[in-house]
Amino acid sequence: MYLATTGAAAATAQVTRGRVAGPVLALGTVSLVTDISSEMVTAVLPLYFVLQLGLSPLQFGFLDGLYNGVTALVRLAGGHAADRGGRHKLVAGTGYALSALSRLGLLLAGGGTAGISAAIAADRIGKGVRTAPRDALISLSSPPDALGRAFGVHRAMDTTGALLGPLAAFALLWATADAYDAVFVVSFCVGLLGVLLLVAFVPGRAALGPVAAPAAGPRVPLRSRIAEPLRDAAFRRIMAAAALLGAATIGDSFVYLLLQKQLDFAVRWFPLLPLGTAAVYLLLAVPAGRLGDRIGRRVPFLFGHAALLAAYLLLLTVGDGTVLLAGVLVLLGVFYAATDGVLMALAGPALPAARQASGMALLQTGQALSRLLAAAGFGAAWTLWGSPAALAIAVVVLAAALAGAAALLPRTERRF
């Protein structure tokens, strides 16, 4: 599936060498299929709400933002539940299934706001629940020295799905003259296929190795159990670095908005900009992961954020349209390729096997919350002082965070 859909020559050679574990490929395929399903819906929801249902964009924004906070909590719970008794596959599968079923909810809700909110909530809860157990499964089924590549392969496949989803959705709308229900039905079918692939090909925790389940331990309050991975000094440093850098990331929507302001090119193509970033991301995810495996994962992680810094500088200084557009899209792609999966590979060895899912949930939640904070701060700065000043502040903050993270991240990574 991966070979067929990406056609990335560099990646092909590595995968065919057969060192990427089967479960990783299976999970990658599940993610690819699921992302097609979810990005299909994501791409058409604003249109569906505003044009088909006549909701005002204000209501849409409200519905959309409503559950972003919930996701963080659910993610922690998902990670915790997966670690208890090694039920990664069950928890992840429940998350995938919930998201798939939410498409039927959209279909059945018709125009009812309550039904739509419930469907969106179900999708977000599903997404929150499955992420950490899935990443823990990837980590548990790969040798520690090849974790970077394992996550790289998974993220490349995942991004391929995200790239194909919107195209599929717009093609469907074009073929059916705006039959949104067809998008929901097809998305449901694709999502269900993802769940079936997971059930059939992803091994349960029992098959992964002799790691003792921690279920029999003494009763500890839930809150301290969720925070338990933080007791490890190395993990604490990784977590702090990720949160620090997250708090200096202004958010993609702002980057695209800045591009739009400065370029004013044929705006019709504007929705396709993120696809350019995704293409770079999927091409570079595997090489970046491999590089991390070889020379230490902090290097690509830090250089990825340096690429983001370069993107901000481009936005601040370059006036020429083509250079700016190409440069920012490529740098943003490099940023994701060098940081997203790499961070999980960086954290994996710092977590005990029985705490993989909860640790990753903690890390992802911390990063997400700090990014939310950064986006809010940048939005406020933009409104108060205008975009150039806000951007200049972002550059300074990111440079400082980068220095801080370089100091925080352990130079010698734990291997086992």
Partner 1 sequence: MTDRADPPETEAGDVRDEARKSRPGGFSMRARIIAIAVATAVLTTVAVVYTVTAARRADSADPPSAFGLDRGQLYFRSTRDGDGAGRVARLAAAASGPSAHGAAAMSAAAAPAPDHRTTGGPSCERFHAAGGTALCLQRRPGIPPASYAVVLDGRLREKRRIALTGIPNRARVSASGRMLSWTMFATGDSYATTSFSTRTSILDTRTGYLIKNMEDIPLILDGRRYHSPDVNYWGVTFARDDNRFYATVSTKGRTYLVEGDMRRWTARTLRENLECPSLSPDNTRLAFKKRVREGARDPWRLYVLDLRTMREHPLAEQRSVDDQAAWLDDHTLGYALPGSGGEGSDIWTVPADGTGSPALRVAGASSPALVR
Hey, which residues between 356 and 395 contact partner 1 (CB under 8 A)?
379, 382-383, 386-387
Per CB under 8 A, contacts with partner 1 among 253-292 are 253, 256-257, 261, 267-272, 274
Q: Does 186 bind partner 1 (CB under 8 A)?
A: yes
Nearer to partner 1, 3 or 400 (CB): 3
Min dist. Cβ of residue 173 to partner 1 (A): 4
Site membership for partner 1, residue 1 (CB under 8 A): no
Q: How far apart are CA 19 and CA 40, in angstroms?
A: 32
Take residue 87 and report the two structure tokens written for it.
Answer: 């039920």
The span from the CA of 103 to the CA of 315, in Å, is: 38
Amino acid making up residue 161: G
Considering only residues 4 to 43 of the shown chain, the ones binding partner 1 according to CB under 8 A are: 42-43
Coil, strand or helix at 1: coil
Of 276, 208, 197, 232, the closest CA to residue 35 belongs to 197
Instruction: Please say which residue, 253 or 322, places its beta carbon nearer to partner 1.
Output: 253
CA distance 64 to 58: 10
Asked if residue 318 binds partner 1 (CB under 8 A), the reply is no
Tokens 């008794």 correspond to what residue?
Answer: 85
Q: Which stretch binds partner 1 (CB under 8 A): 79-87, 252-260, 299-307, 316-324?
A: 252-260
Q: Please, which residues have CB within 8 angstroms of residue 84's CB and are 6 or more apart in sequence? A: 213, 214, 215
**Alpha carbon distance 182, 255 (integer Å):** 32
> Following CA atoms 106, 37, 242, 259 in sequence, which dihedral angle do they give, to the nearest 10 degrees?
-90
Q: Rule CB under 8 A: which of 124-183 touch partner 1?
A: 166-167, 170-179, 181-182
- Ranges within 192-251 binding partner 1 (CB under 8 A): 192-193, 195-204, 206-207, 251
Backbone conformation region of residue 209, classed left if phi is above 0, alpha if psi is from -120 to 50, else beta: left
- Smallest distance, Å, CB 158 to partner 1? 16
CB closer to partner 1 out of 175 and 407: 175
We find the least distance from the C-beta atom of residue 303 to partner 1, in angstroms, to be: 25
Question: Which is nearer to partner 1, 12 or 52 (by Cβ)?
Answer: 52
Q: Specify the DSSP element, H or E, that contains 158.
A: helix 147-176
- Contact map string, positions 74 to 113, toward partner 1, x by CB under 8 A: ---------------xx--xx--xx--x--------xxx-
252 forms part of the interface with partner 1 (CB under 8 A): yes
